[in-house]
């Protein structure tokens, strides 16, 4: 990846060295490397001639990020701050900016939680995708079903190979999830059967070696996020799913929907949530429960079950003490 990076600023060689150093420590750093190319491009546009970062340069770069959401501003600025810290090891005169303050108001983008009916409409719309008789409709049908029934990330789904599905174990093997973590994802029997039927169709198409992509683009290459994103947007329009100003539906929201629906099912079954949440965090590939909590958005149906459980617990507690509710 580093050899193909197109860097032209006076800091090009130092940027490459930083990326090599991070990757030699076992870090993926591909996303950060891409963000550093934006900074390199900025330095070229600003006609910076010296390999030295000053406060005015950082302040001008920060202004160019104003059109981005606070989260993306913090991500881009944070990577540049890492670069400054690395450069300062050899040049004490390098300006190291303070971390960009994140919005602490707690107000952010609200995930869109799809209803079961909307999921069914999207699955049906996938089977109507052109061209008729091609693998494409089945690809999107099983892809959406897999995202909803397992909660895996779209990047993880696109990275799956034919050998990633272990029918004997009834599991998917995610070889490299977020933070390069590998994990096994158990499948429901209905999901396993659907995936087996899809693979029967998929193996007719080439390339079809075990290490070839599970999901193919129409041109025979691995399905990528941008292609899925554009197709999914058209499917949302076809199904009349538009959301609101506060929650515009995305394909990543299928992961949020999975988590919420899973939690709802546990409430309905009377499960011990303290135990189940730890299992859910592992299943979704999270480091701890705190990461999973981001996905547990309250819905009307979920809040109703929470309220009912609390009410039942309260009555039981009062009755056991001989009191009157």
72-111 pLDDT, tens digit per residue, is 888 899 999 999 999 999 999 999 999 887 554 444 568 8
**299: confidence class by pLDDT, cuts 50, 70, 90:** low
Average pLDDT over residues 55-59: 95
DSSP per-residue codes, 81-109: HHHHHHHHTT-TTS--PPPPPP-TT---P
Instruction: Choose among 254, 296, 281: nearest CA to 145.
Output: 254
- According to the model, what pLDDT value does residue 228 have? 93
pLDDT at position 106 is 45
Percent of the chain whose predicted confidence (pLDDT) is above 70 = 86
Report residue 232's pLDDT band, with 50, 70 and 90 as the boundaries.
Answer: very high
pLDDT tier, 14 (very low <50, low <70, confident <90, very high otherwise): very high
* pLDDT at residue 300 greater than cutoff 70: no
Q: State residue 255's pLDDT score.
A: 93
pTM over 0.75: no
Q: In a 3-state reduction of DSSP, which class is residue 173?
A: strand
287 pLDDT band (50/70/90 cuts)? confident
User: Does position 303 have pLDDT exceeding 70, yes or no?
Assistant: no
Instruction: State the Cα–Cα distance between residues 325 and 314, nearest whole angstrom.
Output: 8
* Distance between CA atoms of residues 18 and 299, nearest Å: 44
What mean pLDDT is predicted for residues 272-277? 78
Q: What is the pLDDT of residue 271?
A: 76
Query: Buried (b) or exposed (e) across 109-146, using 16+ Cβ within 10 A?
Result: eebbbbeeebbebbbebbeebeeeeebbbbbbbbbbbb
Task: Give the pLDDT band (50/70/90) at residue 136.
Answer: very high
| Tens digit of each residue's pLDDT (9 = 90 or more) over 190-221 | 999 999 999 999 999 999 999 999 999 988 99
Give me the active site residues, please: 153, 178, 252, 255, 286, 295
> What three-state secondary structure class fits 246?
coil
Q: Residue 319 has what pLDDT?
A: 55
């Amino acid at each position: 990846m580093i050899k193909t990076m197109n860097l032209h600023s006076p800091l090009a060689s130092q940027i490459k060295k930083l990326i090599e150093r991070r990757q030699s420590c076992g870090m993926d750093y591909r996303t950060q490397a891409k963000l550093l190319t934006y900074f390199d491009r900025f330095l070229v546009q600003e006609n910076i001639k010296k390999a030295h970062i000053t406060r005015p340069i950082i302040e001008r770069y920060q202004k160019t990020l104003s059109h981005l959401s606070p989260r993306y501003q913090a991500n881009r600025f944070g990577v540049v701050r890492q670069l400054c810290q690395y450069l300062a090891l050899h040049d004490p005169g390098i300006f190291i900016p303070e971390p960009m303050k994140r919005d602490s108001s707690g107000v952010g983008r609200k995930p869109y939680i799809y209803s079961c009916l909307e999921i069914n409409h999207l699955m049906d719309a996938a089977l109507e995708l052109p061209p008729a008789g091609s693998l494409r409709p089945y690809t999107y049908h099983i892809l959406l079903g897999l995202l909803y029934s397992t909660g895996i990330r779209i990047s993880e789904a696109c990275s799956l190979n034919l050998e990633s599905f272990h029918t004997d174990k009834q599991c998917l093997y995610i070889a490299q999830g977020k933070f390069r973590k590998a994990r096994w994802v158990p499948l429901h029997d209905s999901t396993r059967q659907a995936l087996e039927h899809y693979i029967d169709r998929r193996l007719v198409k080439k390339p079809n070696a075990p290490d070839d992509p599970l999901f193919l683009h129409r041109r025979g290459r691995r399905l990528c996020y941008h292609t899925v994103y554009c197709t999914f947007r058209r499917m949302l329009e076809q199904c009349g799913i538009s959301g609101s100003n506060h929650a515009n539906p995305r394909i990543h929201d299928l992961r949020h929907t999975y988590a919420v629906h899973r939690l709802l099912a546990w409430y309905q079954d009377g499960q011990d949530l303290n135990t189940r949440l730890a299992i859910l965090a592992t299943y979704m590939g999270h480091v701890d429960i705190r990461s999973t909590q981001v996905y547990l958005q309250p819905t009307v149906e979920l809040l109703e079950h929470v309220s009912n459980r609390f009410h039942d617990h309260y009555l039981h507690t009062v009755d056991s003490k001989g009191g009157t509710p």
